[in-house]
Amino acid sequence: MITSIGIQLNIDKGLIVFTMKRDKYMQSILAILRYIGRLFKCFLAPIFCLLHISVTDTRRNTQKYNDCLQKKKFVLEDTERKINTGLDRCLNAVTTWVKLYLQSEQKKSDFKPDTDDFDTVASPACKSVLNYVSGMIKEINTTLDGNNVSAVLQELGLRLHRVVYDHMLQFQYNTAGAMVAICDLNEYRSCCKQMGPLVTELFETLHALCNLLLVKPENLQQVCSEDSLVNLDKSVLHNFIQLRSDFKVQKQNIFLRS
């Protein structure tokens, strides 16, 4: 028989295992996601069934009935809290892996090559990250269900956007490199469409910001006035414009009017 104590012990064991393996991202995250999925499908449903039987049997006794309701509330809330903790650790592990991988594998020359004679395609670092993230998305869709899928995917997308946004601010871009950055953002945007409209909108805006790295200086004012950027704070626009390799030389030409 599945008891609430047994369920709590299984959840606690899962959280401990994840903590012990948190440095082995690729090996542990999928296993933890599968484990959380089994908790939803194998444990929560039996809880509802057992508690329903208990409530039915004790409905005639008001005190026992109230005690049962309180027990039901405690067990479900505690189980949900622990599962949410596990999910949060999984998402943190995913985004931390992405951040560290980009830091170590993304080359400055990806965005500031010495020559224009190369194919403008997504960078190898971007492709590797998206291959990893796609696996996480597939696993989330497999192990969770209902609104849990969309909620977790959106949270993952929001965290990934923050990582990619901060990552883009670490480089300088010439014209050829800006094309690579835009190719990267096209890939990120395509992958993250599965994460909901809010995440899609954020990556659309980031893609538009990357256009500021490519357009001619005299056209920047016009691009900043387009619908996708017009409502952004001027400091955000300036932060991206300053990443242009020609910023110091063309500073007067690319100064934005308030």
Domain closes at, from 105, 130, 161: 105
Q: How far apart are CA 209 and CA 65, in angstroms?
A: 59
Q: Within this chain, do residues 134 and 253 fall inside the same structural domain, yes or no? A: yes
Does residue 213 sit in the same domain as residue 150? yes
> Residue 94: which of 158, 165, 182 has the closest Cα?
158
Of 81-85, 166-170, 181-185, 193-197, the one with minimum mean pLDDT is: 81-85
Among 28-32, 40-44, 133-137, 140-144, the range with the most confident prediction by mean pLDDT is 133-137
Query: What's the whole-number mean pLDDT along residues 205-230?
Result: 91
Pair 144, 254 in one domain: yes
Is there a single domain that holds both residue 165 and residue 257?
Answer: yes
Residue 69 reports pLDDT greater than 80: no
The neighbour count for residue 55, using CB atoms within 10 Å, is: 15
Expressed as residue numbers, the domain containing 237 is 107-258
Based on the domain organization, do 117 and 1 belong to the same domain?
no
Q: How far is CA 70 from the centre of its chain?
A: 35
pLDDT, averaged across the chain: 80
Do 130 and 185 lie in a common domain?
A: yes
Q: How remote is the C-alpha of 21 from its chain's centroid?
A: 20
Please list the residues that pair with 201 across neighbouring strands: none
Q: Is 173 helix (H, G, I), strand (E, B) or coil?
A: strand
User: CB-side exposure of 134: number of CA atoms within 13 Å?
Assistant: 11
pLDDT at 81: 81
Check residue 27 and give its pLDDT. Answer: 46
Q: Which residue has the tokens 């849990």?
A: 148
